[in-house]
Amino acid sequence: MTHISTTDTHAAPPGKPQHIAVLGIGLMGFPMARRLCEAGHTVTAWNRSREKAERLLPFGAQVANSPAEAVRGADVVITLLTDGPAVGAVLLASDTLAAYRPGALVIDMSSIKPDEARAHAHQLDTVGVRHIDAPVSGGTVGAEQGTLAIMAGGDAEDVAAAQPVLSVLGRCTPVGPHGSGQLAKLANQMIVGITIGAVAEALLLAAKGGADMAQVRQALMGGFADSRIMQLHGQRMVERDFAKRAAMTVQLKDMRNAMATAQAMGFEAPITALFESLYAQAVQDGLSDLDHAGLFVALAQRNGMT
């Protein structure tokens, strides 16, 4: 891949405000863009549903009518879109390609397939635009608090150039070349999806046998069964709080992306395959509006538990 000299990249030293376009103002995009505004950056927001972007107006953001308008003149372009095709359609549209500032840095924080991220990086490079794939973990709570785990794939100098912006959003760890950030996110989502299922099934088993589910969760915390999932999602299960923070449909998309990537690599992932089918069945059964911890509901229904 062609590298642009770091003297021509418009990279800013820590603390210097930058012009940032944020494309996709949903559950994650809104709090992340708000934090960038509050950090003193000039933010231009775009969302397919304009009213979602307009929520950022009180924080000083500008709202664009199109992706091309949003990226025009921006030092950094951040995408938080639903899937690979959506990212490609927005970033690589002819009017958007014509609008990028030479040497602009695209930070794709969406969760997509690794091969899609590599293809986007290649196509942007042909017009002199840099790219890193930097998906996140931590959910809406992490987005609001600026504590996201950010997994970055791409050229080392571009990841370094992104750090002043990403530090507002969380902790960024370089994990390898283009596509590696998405591989790390798939690994994260495999672990998250599988662990949600394990915690839900274990707590339901305890409850079915007559134990106090809340107390069982408390007893397990601090031992080898403890995890961030046990702490946060386990509490949601105890409280039956499945308001959407990370959508069931997004978890299913990520599991499917993991399976497609594994198959392309000739890698067997039987545990992920099982949980992909469980999330798919839950969505098919009408639970798509629940948080991904709502797999608990699907497993409860299988066992005749309300």
Residue 292: closest CA among 303, 278, 305: 278
Q: Spell out the residues 6+ positions from residue 20 whose beta carbon is closer than 8 angstroms to its own.
A: 36, 41, 42, 43, 44, 74, 75, 76, 77, 78, 165
User: Other C-beta atoms within 10 Å of 129: how many?
Assistant: 23
The total of other beta-carbon atoms located within 10 Å of residue 113's CB is 21
Residues present in the chain in total: 306
Alpha carbon distance 222, 225 (integer Å): 8
Q: Annotated catalytic sites, by residue?
A: 185
Gap between the Cα atoms of 86 and 128, Å rounded: 21
